[in-house]
A and B are shown apart, each in its own frame.
Chain A
Amino acid sequence: MTTSPEKGQLVTANRLRDGIAVFLTRSGVWSETIDDAALALEPQAAAALESRAKDDEKSTLITGAYLIDAERLNGRVRASHIRERMRALGPTVRLDLGKQAEGTGAGFAAPEGV
């Protein structure tokens, strides 16, 4: 087990037909689970991911692709920004809904409760 996380960037977007938040994987498919995301550790790799995402935007698979900061620890991916952690889980006020309820949620908890 690693103890220090790998820090980098991954690409996220919304699937065009249903709007579900998705993450670009190493094999180039889009996964609903952030843990599946390809984490680019170098800016060049990040740019390559982004450019692949732009192609998928043109082919109407996804929309609104962008890079986010994230880190991977023991195979689980945690987005840096609270907004992205929310997208990877679902609403914090309805734990019965969204990815967290469908088995596609992130391994990290939503932001600490209020």
Chain B
Amino acid sequence: MPLLKNNTLVPETWLHTSADGELPAGDVVVPFARLLKEWEQLSKRPGKLGVSLGNVDRAEALAMFLPKLQLIELPFPAFNDGRAYSIARQLRQMGYRGELRATGNVLPDQLQFMLQVGFDTFDIGERFTLATWQQASKLMSLAYQRGLYRRNDEAEIWTERHTDAEPWLEQPHAG
């Protein structure tokens, strides 16, 4: 599946594993249940570790694992199931700085919302052209809310209006 990051297509380097069975060599993404079950073993193996968190799992449950994780996948079972937006924001607020990937029903019209809550890679499927995705990432040049992930040239209105006020915690820029 094509992956979008920083507005370009990037190759997939992660191997997805199921709930059990042999772990392949390399960088693996495991379901959350497996992370809980095999943490000891997973934390010691070579290669990077990622997790696929469900929509009903709690972000706090990942707290102790975060330092070891370099990819967290959050699913959109339907484009209008908005739970992953909150989970993404919680993970970023917990200090997670690794890759945060949106999977499932990801559509261009929601891309900017996803970027703003801290997603940085997107499993985009084949339906839309890269140009459509690139355009979709910048349709709104402004947002009112504070503490979002936005590019340098995309202002947060309240912050801009009160630039001399105490700054919000620094956020890495969106992809």
Give yes or no for direct A-B contact (beta carbon below 8 Å). no
